[in-house]
Each structure stands twice: as C-alpha cells, then as structure tokens.
Structure 1
Amino acid sequence: MLTVTKMDSANMYHVTEKMTDGFVAVNKDIAFMKAHVNGSPGIIYYNSDSANFVFECVVPIEQMPKVEPKNSKIVILEEGNMLIYNYYGDPEGLYNAYGEMQEYCKTNNLQHIGPMREFYITDGSTQPDKKQWLTRIMLPVKGL
C-alpha cells in the first residue's frame, strides 16, 4: 500500500494534538504533490509507552507522486498475515476490541509480530452517530 506518512511521538496528554498535527502535515503534502487519496486515513502504533507514545499518521495514495513531500515521507506498507477486527462504535471503546484480539491470539496460537494499524473507515464529519463509525484494526501475526 503506497502511503504518505508522518511519524511522531508524544506523552499520553499530547497524543491527540500531535496526531492532528501529523494528519495536517500529511494532507498538506498530498495537496502540494497533487497526489490522490486512495483509502481511509490511519495510524500505525509502534509502542504503548504513555510517557513517549510513538506513532505514524498514514494516508494511502493512488500512485507515486512526481515530487517529494515537504513535511512527511512516502512509504510502502508491507503486506502480511494480519488479524483484522472491524470495530463499530465510539473510539473510546476501542480498548474492548484490543482485549478481544489479544484473547483471540492466545486461543488460536497467534503471535503479534509488528506494529498495529488502525484505519478510520467512517468519516466522522459526515456520520455524526459514533455507533456507526467503523475502525479497522490490523494486527500483524504469525502462528506459534
């Protein structure tokens, strides 16, 4: 998957602000490069350290741009075996989905082998009912 990304980190009190800044930078670069979005925005989570949470804001694009981005980078996300969970609801409840995924991995002898990805399929600006929001969680796994 060809993407434009911006990596950053923050403590738990500033994560939302930093993620917003990351998506602003990515979207400005997409406009600058005259690239075309090809999917839903997402975030790759590299750790769960509340003191220094490392993440990457990701937006898929159709094709390689002719110019380099100014404040982000072009990344090809690798394919692989993924446990996929389609979570419907308020993002505040995502922790329940993570717990179910962890239990599924344990029950089915799967090992988490890479950074988790979340893609925000539903546009919250056009769908006010948070119960209808779809977040696709992708967890790279391998059998034990």
Structure 2
Amino acid sequence: VTVSPVLMRQIKIYIEQIRSRVPMRQAHDFIFVSEKNSRGTIGCPISLKSINAIFQKLSDVLQFSIHPHLLRHKWNEVFDKEGEAQGVDPKLLEDIRKYAMGWSELSIMNETYNDKRLALKAKEISLAHQKRMDGL
C-alpha cells in the first residue's frame, strides 16, 4: 500500500509511542492493536467488532453510512479514474488492480469493480449520445 509521507509519519508516531507500550504486540504484523485487556485481547489485532464501531462513529459524525468495504469500492473508483487519466491499457490496469489488491493472477474479483466501471462508462456514452440527439 502506498501512503503519503504525512500519514506514514502519523503511523510511525502511533507505532513508536502507543503500540510499543502494549504487551503481546510482537505476536503478529498488524499495525493497530487492542490497547485494553477486555477478554484477554491486549496486543491482539483490533477486532472486526471494533473496526465496525469506529466506522459507526464516523457514520454518525458524517451523517452518512460508511463501512470498511465501502473504502475498497472507493479505492477502486479512484484507481480506475487515475488509470484512465494516465492512459493505462485496460488489460494492464486489471493486472495492476489484482496486484494492488493482493489477489492472485487467476482471481476474478476484479470483475466486480470492472463491471461498475463498464456501467459508468456506458452511462457516460449514452448521456453524451442523448445530448447530441437532443441538439439536432
């Protein structure tokens, strides 16, 4: 994953100043860990329940429902736009997507996101055609 220097510095501060004081943190490679010992989980990767609670708080503040999987969809949307803007061949873009998402070369998961891109492109072309026809 590529992260900005600003975010990397913030993660580094968390690792050095907070995570480093949590027992059992060395047992895995996850960055974010449980800092409380509820049910003996101190130092364990934060749970799915905790992640969902964080996203619920974000949703409440934003007054818009947001969940972890929505980030995956947004990432793929931004990825598509950037790939198109850079003129990346669509077949290569799909291979890059598989690599970036950690999917095997044989995975068909990319088709989920490709279908959305195709639907949006079809809508864009159709609207452009309708505008031309309306102008006649």
Provide TM-score, normalisation by structure 2.
0.27
Structure having the larger proportion of residues in helix: 2
Structure having the larger proportion of residues in strand: 1
Q: Which has the higher contact order (CA 8 A, sep 6+)?
A: 1
Provide TM-score, normalisation by structure 1.
0.26
